[in-house]
Structure formats: structure tokens, C-alpha cells
Amino acid sequence: MRLLHTFLISILAFSSIAQEREGKREREVNQEGLNQRTILDDTTKIIYGMKTTSFISKENFLLSDTTFLILDSTLNDIYDISIPEKNQFKYQNLGNLGSPVRNIFYETPNSFSLQSGLSSLQPYIDDISTSKFYDTKSPFIDLGLFFGGLGRSKVDFEFSRNVNKNWNLTLAINRISSDKQIGAIKNKGDKNIKSSSLKFNIFHKSNNKKISHFTDIISLNHSILGTGGVDLIVDSLPIDFFLYKDFEVRLTEVENVYKNLKLETYTDYKLSNELKFYNQTKYRKEYYGYEDMNLSLNFNFYNSFSDNIATQDSFKIKNVSNRIGIKGNSKLFNYDIYGNFGYFKYHVNALENSFSEIYVGGLLKYKNPSFDVISNFEIKKSSDYRLKVDLKSKIFEASYLSALYEPKIFERIYLGNHYSWENNFNSSFVNNLNAKINLENRFITFSPSINFYTIKDHIYFVGDNHLQADQVITFNQFIVDLKLKLLNNKINFDNKFTYNLSSNSANGILNFPKQTLYSKLYYNGIWFNNTIPVQLGSIISYRSEFYGDAYDPITQNFYVQNEFMLERYLRFDLFFTMQVNNLRIFLKMNHFNQFDSFDGYFVTPYYPAQKKVLDLGVRWYFFN
């Protein structure tokens, strides 16, 4: 922490010096103007703020978009700190801030490149790597501080500055710290999660607009001092009392470590608006580790082991990929044609192997004042492919995906103290069709949507190995999104209801709740002579009962189980937010409807959800 404080002080000092120089330059210019008897008033002064700091997302930039957006200064959702909260509780976790997560619904891979298959912490990488390329007229700091009850905290710090009009540097630091919510030995400081990340970004556009470049570096260190969940007999469910810190847990003195290093560079050269050459290189290094140095304390947890003294399992993966392509844009079309070469090397304890992948692809975006169509096709030499088409208009949205995904590395091979396998699976076929209608006026937004999936040769983890389904699986989602704005937008009522239906072939393989509901009712106003924006309201989240996937700390992965029923639950949260200039503050009472201190529910088998607790947080923008 001393190092972090020193670093922050250095950044602020650098910003102050830079601003002093700019102020001196402005004073010199103003004095020169006065000498020339030029009349000046307050309207000519440079004021740094929301209008002088803008950004473009990496995704839009890579699609040849040139539109920069202003910063978000609203109060909406600033109290959503955890991954489940940010995703309307579509994710399950281990009942604590920073713990491993999994989408309770089926997710298609977000990349055509081969995946490691160990993904319970991937959402944390996605959360911190949502790159924004800034254009700042002054040093800019985005500081978020979260002080959660029961020993949970989070710090998000981002600093960005234009070196000149062509170069921008951005640095971000993120930290999560959480005490154990179950089975804690001491009242304070018995850590469950310790996570820290560092992100550095460089963005450049040349004077003649012909060269664009960015470099992203992300480093994440995530440590989990695991508990294995609470020690109970499944046949005794549902349990009558939730003891939380007084629960007996299934594991003691074990640790999971996850390290991720990502480096990405991109450069393009524009010959004309219709033609650019570009090169994109990515490097990624991942490390998964599980350590139990005294197995005698945890014999009852393990089904088998090779070494009965200690476990020190690790999974290391290195990946380098390079993409070369041409792209361009016109009034009607954006296009991108590319080839991608990737090299993988992995170590699973004593086992080592390497291989490469090659694929080519193309993207075409048709632009129309009424609608846009984006189509993307990629194919590997192994005949695996991915075709995705998106159509978007003001009233109607639709997407279609057809893909053949090769098995992930973790699905193919593993060798450890407790498990080992070597599988030869077929590639999985996925067909997905989604359609959505958007109807909107001043008072109501009504957006029904449907989502159809067909999956063949689905691969799933059952705890000690993987299996491949021998039948075609289908499931459908019917979603209703309804938003009401009443009394000149002072009262807002947002609702999202999802009904899920699957084929018999999915039973025991893809388990998810039949119904989910996310509902938010809040007041939106301005207090104290129309100077202080405020929001206050409540959030209701509901899911029906289902056999949720369980978590295996040995592999840091979730697996299919059909014994532990997660009972249906209704969670009720209260929140209050306010804004004073560039400072936003929130208070949130989580699980307010836990009126009995011994009441609760399981969010993942053996892991109780977060108990009733009050959280405080601030989000602060600094511009000079």
C-alpha cells in the first residue's frame, strides 16, 4: 500500500506541475493580450471538465469508427461493484466480492481463437481490459473507492493524459480485498480474496492521420485462500440456519493463484479511406495454481490423489498470435480481411506440449441511415468455422451465429495430483438465433426478445473429467424488457423477465433456472435548489430453483452436478446515490430482506450468498 500511495502522490504531483506549466503559458498569452488592449472576460478562460475529455472504445476503433464520446457522469448503476451485480445477477459466484464466477446460462465463446478452458476468473480480465482510448486536454483521473461491510473493499484508479495532440498515455490500477464470509477464524483480516491488477495503454494518431497505433499491457494477480464451501450433508437440504462465519468449512489452508499477463499492439497505415494495412500482435501468459501442503487436514474433500502428502498443481499457458490484414471504409461499407497465426505452449505439471493454429477471416459492415448490418466469417485449416451476422435498426435487432468450435485445452488434457485425462473430442457445433423488437416513447420502453440455441457435441465438466453429449441439445429464452418513466422521469421502473425452456436432452447437462427477474424502482431528482442530483430506490432479483453448477477449487472451474438443489430466492436491495460536481457517492444495503440473521440462500452449491450488509462507495473525476 505504501508503494501505491507513493505512486499516486507522484501522479498527482506530475499533474500539478503540468497544469502549472499550462497555467503559466495561459497567463503569458493573456498578459500579451492585455498589452495589446484585448478585452478578456471569464468566458475566454479554459475550463477543464466533461467537455474537454473524450474517449473511443477499442471495439469501435477497430471497426474504423472515429466518433469520440464524452464521459459518463450519470448516477445509473454506480453501486454495481461485483461481476454478478454488473450483469443483473446472471452470474453465480462463491458469495464474496472477487470470487470466481460463472454465467448461469450457456455462453458462446467470444473469440474464434482456441481457449484455455479455465474461465472462472476471465470476467475479471474482461472487466479491467475494456479499453478506452482517451483524448484529454488536461490530466484526467477517474477514482473509484468501495468500502464494503464485512471486510470487503475495492479500489479503481485510472490516470490519462495527452502528451501532445497525437499521443495519449493511460494507466489504471485495480485492487480487490475481501475477508472470508464463511468459516473465518478471526473477526477481521482473515482474507479470502486478494487481487491486484495494472493496466498501461498508449494511443497514437499521426498528424497526417495516416498512422494509428495502440499498445495495451495488462497484468493481474488473483489469490484465493479457499474454504471449499460449508460442510453439510446434501440430504439435509434445505438447511434451517445460516451461520456464515461460524460455519464449518470443507477445506483449510489451501490457496489458488491465478496470474495473467496480456500484451497487445496494433498499427495501421492508411493509403486512403478505402484502404488501410494493419498488423495486430497479441501475447498472453496464464498461470493457474492450487496448493494444499497438508492433505491430512482435508482428506475427506478429495476422492483420489497420487501424492498423499501435498498438492502443488499448476497449469501454464503461453499464446502468441499475429494478425495481418487490410481494411477500409466508404459511405456504405466498412470491410476487414485478415489472416491470423497463433502459437500455443502449455505445461500441465510435468506434461508439456505446443501447437499452432491458422485461420483467415473477413468482416463486412453495411451502413444505412435506417439500419446497420455486420457480417463476420472465420475459418481454420481444421475446418472449424464461425459465421456471425448482426442487424440493428432503431426498432428491430437480430443476430445469427453458426460455428464449429474446437475443444479447449483444459477439455483435451490434464494431469494433476487428483485428476488426469486425455480426451479426443469432436468440435462442438453451435447455432444461435436472436431477435429483439424495441418500442419506445416518452413514457415506456418495451423490448421483447427471443433467443434460440441448438448445440451438438456439447462438452461439459463433471468434476473429475469431461464428457461429450451424444444428443443434440436445444434451449430457448423468452425475454421481456419493460421500462416505465413517470412524472417527468422522476419515477423510473425497469424490469427484465426471462423464461427459459430446454429439450429433454439438456436435462442434467445444461442446468439453469426456468425464470429469472431483475426489477429496479427508483426516484430520480435534483435537490438543494436544483444543484445536487440524487437517486434512491430498490432492486429486486429473483431466480427459480435449479441444480446450479458447483465449483472445484482444484481446477478453479465450475462443473455440472445434479444433487445440490439451489432453492429459489428473492433478493431485495436498497440504494441511495448523489452527485456533487464531479463526485458521486452511493450507499447500498445488500439483501435487505434478510430480516432473520440466520436466514440465507446458496448462490452456488456449498457457498452461501452474501449476507445482509451495508456498502459505501465514491466515484470521483479529477480534471486538473
pLDDT tens-digit readout, 305-324: 999 999 999 999 999 999 99
Beta-bridge partners for 199: 172, 218
Mean pLDDT in residue range 493-515: 96
From the list 189, 193, 194, 132, the residue with the least C-alpha distance to 158 is 132
* CATH code of the region 47-622: 2.40.170.20
- pLDDT at residue 11 tops 70: no
CA end-to-end distance (rounded Å), the chain: 24
pLDDT of residue 45: 55
Q: 552 vs 301, 423, 463, 465, 477, CA distance in Å?
A: 11, 20, 7, 12, 28
Confidence class of residue 21 from pLDDT cuts 50, 70 and 90?
Answer: very low
Domain boundaries defined on the chain? 47-622
Report residue 40: phi and psi, to 5°: -120, 150
CA 449 from centre of chain? 23
Residue 424 CB neighbours (<10 A): 8
In sequence order, which residues have a C-beta less than 8 Å from that of residue 391 and are 6 or more positions away? 371, 372, 373, 397, 398, 399
In sequence order, which residues have a C-beta less than 8 Å from that of residue 64 and are 6 or more positions away? 276, 327, 328, 329, 334
Predicted confidence (pLDDT) per residue in 387-443, tens digit: 999 999 999 999 999 999 999 999 999 999 999 999 999 999 999 999 999 999 999
pLDDT of residue 441: 93
Mean pLDDT in residue range 134-161: 95
pLDDT of residue 52: 85
Q: Are 481 and 495 in contact (CB under 8 A)?
A: yes
Predicted confidence (pLDDT) per residue in 68-110, tens digit: 898 988 999 999 999 999 999 999 999 999 999 999 999 998 8
- pLDDT at residue 284 tops 70: yes
How would you class 484 by CB atoms within 10 Å of its CB: exposed for 0-12, middle for 13-18, buried for 19 or more? middle
Mean pLDDT in residue range 182-206: 94
* Residue 279 grid cell: 498488423
From the list 128, 217, 127, 225, the residue with the least C-alpha distance to 169 is 217
Confidence class of residue 624 from pLDDT cuts 50, 70 and 90?
Answer: confident
Residue 197 CB neighbours (<10 A): 21
DSSP-assigned states of every residue in 10-21? HHHHHHHHHHHH
CA angle, corner 545, sides to 544 and 548, nearest 5?
Answer: 120
* 3-state SS, one letter per residue, for 326-385: EEEECCCEEEEEEEEEEEEEEEECCEEEEEEEEEEEEEEEEECCCEEEEEEEEEECCCCE
Q: Are 621 and 51 in contact (CB under 8 A)?
A: no
- pLDDT at residue 525 tops 90: yes
Predicted confidence (pLDDT) per residue in 112-144, tens digit: 999 999 999 999 998 887 788 999 988 999 999
Q: Measured between alpha carbons, how far is 489 from 542 in angstroms, rounded to an integer?
A: 26
Q: 432 vs 391, 420, 435, 437, 475, CA distance in Å?
A: 14, 33, 10, 17, 10
CA 533 from centre of chain? 28
Mean pLDDT in residue range 367-382: 93
Dihedral, CA of residue 303, residue 306, residue 312 and residue 315, to nearest 10: -90
Place of cell 493481474: 220
- pLDDT at residue 260 tops 60: yes
**What is the identity of the amino acid at 381?**
K
